[in-house]
Structure 1
């Protein structure tokens, strides 16, 4: 039976996402990733180069999955924030992966997938602002940062804060309402 390279790559990415989300780049071990993926380290290196390149591939795949599920609509930012909230409630490992990316890659070369997403969203926000879709004293980059922070605030709280005692629907509503107020809507 012939091996399916795409299936092997997908298994490697899945195993690597779990490993990187749990332990970060520095703590992740390629031998564990290969073992969980059911391949050998040589195959992993052949497909992805080194551990840093594998992390880049995992993070790029995460960005693509996030974009596909969440989308972006500069004309309805409160609902966008609600979708971001929903995404990270359903995929806490993706939020951890993003945190590791920020912690371990603050000065590294930027990933094209992230640069493209940011440029597109900032451009859409500026167009919406000029069209009068929303009122805000904040520049697009400030506004996007605040919206992302509000949308992920519950997912990033300390466990001792007991956010779980507040029903998910109420937490989501708080996110949507906070972003609407931020926009003076």
Structure 2
């Protein structure tokens, strides 16, 4: 009997998390409504708050899961930033809802005081430190600040997600309208700025 109740609780919690992911992706943190999350999860607001004390805590939980999923799918090799940019392009092109979710968080959490670290803080610092180590080992040009490296690569990789109107025109008017052509441009642009390291075999 206890195992049945536990399974039911896990199922309810899973539905809440899935519904919250969709709600936050559509409306952001401030615009998300717990009553809509509860309805989509086929449960009550009271049940949502039984698992998560606040909407912000629920967002933090979903954000941690999203970061873990992205980390599993996209691997930063600072010695091959063009490949990393291609992985970012592939992942978020396949999961635009996840990109919207993360973008809302970046926008809304930017106003949080520096002392209150958001869910993306540690992930960003880890990447910056990996870039710094690659520069120290001569796998990446040390003239760049690691923060700038990460910002430039991420911006190029996300170009077509951030500029939906331009992406729509590209699907009709580009010399090569295939999505692969946009990916190739991303990889080529990053490679022109940060060429992959030539490692001895």
TM-score w.r.t. length of structure 1 = 0.92
**Alpha-carbon shift at residue 136 of structure 1 (Å):** 5.4
**Alpha-carbon shift at residue 160 of structure 1 (Å):** 5.0
Give me the whole-angstrom Cα distance separating, in 2, the residues matched to 1:151 and 1:103. 18
Give me the whole-angstrom Cα distance separating, in 1, the residues matched to 2:65 and 2:72. 11
Give me the whole-angstrom Cα distance separating, in 2, the residues matched to 1:147 and 1:127. 17
**Alpha-carbon shift at residue 119 of structure 1 (Å):** 1.9
Residue 131 (structure 1) aligned with residue 137 (structure 2): yes
Hey, what does 1:171 align to over in structure 2? Answer: 182
Q: Secondary structure at the match of 2:91?
A: helix
Moved more, 147-156 or 92-101: 92-101
8 Å contact from structure 1 (residues 30, 51) kept in 2: yes
Hey, what does 1:93 align to over in structure 2? Answer: 97
TM-score w.r.t. length of structure 2 = 0.85
Question: 4+ residue runs of structure 1 moved beyond 6 angstroms?
Answer: none
Rg bigger for which structure? 2
Deviations 1:144-182 (A, max 9, x none): 010000000011113255233431111111111111111
User: Alpha carbon RMSD of aligned pairs, Å?
Assistant: 1.7
Q: Secondary structure at the match of 2:78?
A: coil
Residue 116 (structure 1) aligned with residue 122 (structure 2): yes
Residue 14 (structure 1) aligned with residue 25 (structure 2): no
Q: Secondary structure at the match of 1:75?
A: helix
Residue 65 (structure 1) aligned with residue 69 (structure 2): yes
Deviations 1:114-137 (A, max 9, x none): 222122211111111111112253
Hey, what does 2:48 align to over in structure 1? Answer: 44
Spell out the pairing of 1:156-167 with structure 2 (5 A cutoff).
Answer: 156-159=162-165, 161=167, 162-165=169-172, 166-167=177-178
